[in-house]
Amino acid sequence: MLLINFWRQTLTLVVLSTLLSACGVNNIPTYDEQVKSSWSQVENQYQRRADLIPNLVSTVKGYAAHEKETLSAVTNARAKVGSIQVNGKLLDNPQAMQKFQQAQGELGSALKRLLVVSERYPNLKANQNFLALQSQLEGTENRISVARRDFITSTERYNTEIRTFPGKLWHGFLYSDMELREAYTATSQDAETAPEVSF
């Protein structure tokens, strides 16, 4: 009799474990980790851009010495981005996140102005170093865009899970300390306007 009860309890435990894992009890922490991971990829691409900027600025500096205002704007924007403390708590602080996004927007805007400077200097446009850096920078901007899209998607998935059934139940019972996540929002004033390039 004791052995039968043991097997009955074991079987019940196995069945309950299977049912619980199939009903989404682990979705919330899984989706939360996806949000963190996708945000890390956004930061990775921003870092790649920041690493390329000194090379781009020094290449342009040789040809466009009197474009100091534009070069200074890029350098200052990069310094501002570098001064913001980026850590795991950034995702949990909407004000810090907005400040970080705004600094990245300012840097992107300064880079657009720097690339327009190249139109004034035919030798610079033909310089292989500049062309390679410009190509890398354009690729990085595309990667940033994809990383932000992935972050938006993972944030949406996480937020939807904790606001809909059965995730809402699991959130209330087991994960009440995990709050909704803020999605990426464009903070640049010219984000809705395409940059104008004239030849």
The per-residue pLDDT for 160 is: 93
C-alpha pair distances (Å), 175 with each of 32, 37, 93, 126: 11, 19, 19, 57
Residue 113 pLDDT grade (very low, low, confident, very high; cuts 50, 70, 90): confident
Residue 191 pLDDT > 70: no
Concatenated DSSP letters for 135-178?
A: HHHHHHHHHHHHHHHHHHHHHHHHHHHHHSTTHHHHHHHT-TTP
Summarize pLDDT for 12-46 with one digit per residue, the tens. 766 666 555 556 778 889 999 999 999 999 988 88
User: What domains sit in the chain, N to C, each tagged with a CATH number?
Assistant: 28-173 (1.20.1440.20)
The per-residue pLDDT for 156 is: 94
Who wins on pLDDT, 64 or 149? Answer: 149
Close Cβ partners of 117 (under 8 Å, ≥ 6 residues apart): 60, 64, 67, 70, 124
Residue 154 pLDDT > 70: yes
Residue 165 pLDDT > 50: yes
Average confidence (pLDDT) over 61-76 = 71
Residue 195 pLDDT > 50: no
The per-residue pLDDT for 193 is: 52
